[in-house]
Amino acid sequence: MELRTITVGTREKDWQRAADAAAALRTQLAREGVVVQTLRATPTVDGFNSCADLVSVACGLEERALDLGFDYVTLGVVQRERLDQLADAMAATQALFASVSLTTHDAVDEGAIQQMARMTHDLARIVPGGVGNLRVAALAQVPAGSPFFPASWHDGGAPWLAIGPEAAALAWQATRPLAEVPLGHADRPRLVATALQQLATDIVRYDALFARIAQPICAQYGIGYAGCDWSLAPHPHPERSIAGAIEALSGVPFGGWGTLSAVRALTATIRACAVTQLGFSGIMLPVVEDAVLAQRAREGRYTLRDLLAFSTVCGTGLDTIPLAADVSVDALAGMYREVASVATALKKPLTARLMPLAGHAVGDTTRFAEILPPALASFFCEASVMQ
- The pLDDT value given to residue 36: 97
Confirm if 304 and 298 have CB atoms less than 8 A apart.
Answer: no
Cα(176)–Cα(321) distance, integer angstroms? 28
Confirm if 150 and 164 have CB atoms less than 8 A apart.
Answer: no
Closest CA to 319 of 331, 330, 334, 308: 308
| E-only strand ranges, 270-349 | 317-323
Domain limits, the chain: 2-377
Cα(131)–Cα(148) distance, integer angstroms? 18
- The pLDDT value given to residue 293: 97
pLDDT digits (tens, 9 = 90+) for 92-138: 999 999 999 999 988 999 999 999 999 999 999 998 888 899 999 99
**Interstrand relation of 96-101 and 136-140 (parallel, antiparallel or unpaired):** parallel
Helix axis angle, 259-272 relative to 188-221, nearest 10°?
Answer: 40
- The pLDDT value given to residue 52: 64
Q: How many CB atoms lie within 10 A of CB 192?
A: 20
Task: Tell me if residue 212 falls in helix, strand or coil.
Answer: helix
Handedness of CA 336, 342, 345, 349 (dihedral sign): negative
Determine if the pTM surpasses 0.85. Answer: yes
Residues of the chain with pLDDT under 70: 45-52
pLDDT digits (tens, 9 = 90+) for 291-347: 999 999 999 999 999 999 999 999 889 999 999 999 999 999 999 999 999 999 999
- The pLDDT value given to residue 50: 55
Rg (CA), the chain: 20
Cα(140)–Cα(348) distance, integer angstroms? 8
- Please give the CATH topology (third level) of the domain spanning 2-377: Anaerobic Ribonucleotide-triphosphate Reductase Large Chain (3.20.70)
Element (H, E) at 72: strand 72-77
| E-only strand ranges, 233-325 | 317-323
